Amino acid sequence: MSTPRTAIIDVGGGFRAIYGAGVTDRLLEDHVTVDLAIGISAGSANLACYLSQQKGRLYKFYTEYAFRPEYASTRNYVTSHNFVDLDYVYGTLSNHDGEYPLDYAAAAANPMDFEVIAANALTGEPMYFPKSRLRQDDYDICKASSAVPVACEPYVIDDIPYFDGGIADPIPVEHALDLGCERVVVILTRPKDTVRDAAKDAAPARILERTWPVAAQKLRERAALYNAEVAVAKHLEREGRVLILAPDSLFGLSTLHKSYEGLNRMYRQGYADAARIAEFLQS
């Protein structure tokens, strides 16, 4: 690809990621584009819709489909060890013959470049999947990036198991700069000054360690990595090279917990906050 000048990063965050859906819908409405979109976890789905220019599609997923037991439920976890059925989300619903297909032709034709980050479950290293790996009815890179450790089994691509990209490179601002970007928009799904607590990852890391010891160690280190990368983003924001968008509150949402009210409030804030992006990119 040619050297990108502008980028947008959506860090995901399960159901909190509807904040990014509000952002992308506003960008589509205002016809604001960037050279490169980098998605992690649910952020990869958000930016795939930004790529395909399907305003409103994400809102329907978060506020309607996500309440179906087929989408996310304890039943899913009991039967398959996957709280979120990634094949249902990115296959049954999203394929060309699905209930609300991703417009793959539009995504492929869009000159915007696209990367999806997943974590190699064997090495713990980030994998930066290119846009060329997104294919008609093959959205495996989004599935891999969204496989939350413990809540989901790792998703296998080309014989390599992957977990949620957030344990390997949660806020890849430096990666975007390394690619040549001069202006980077970062979509967080926690308040900007949140300091992640490693203690919250201790119990799931102990469970994960039984089968995926390297990934478990990355999970233990996630809070420190997230906090460090937020600090980098804030420093670059003070220099005028980064714009951080983040909600004021979690509105009762978490990675796997949701409510209609919380989802709508989070979406509306993302939509409103996105008004700042156009001016930043033009600066």
Give catalytic residue positions: 41, 164
Q: Name the percent of the chain in helix, strand, coil, to the closest 5.
A: 50, 15, 35
- Whole-angstrom distance, CA of residue 21 vs CA of residue 83: 21
Task: Give which of 104, 109, 61 is closest to 84, Cα–Cα.
Answer: 61
- Whole-angstrom distance, CA of residue 122 vs CA of residue 81: 19
Are 149 and 212 in contact by the 8 Å Cβ rule? The answer is yes
Q: At what angle do helices 213-238 and 202-209 cross, to 10 degrees?
A: 140
- For the chain, the residue count is 283
| Largest Cα–Cα separation, the chain | 51
- Whole-angstrom distance, CA of residue 98 vs CA of residue 215: 33
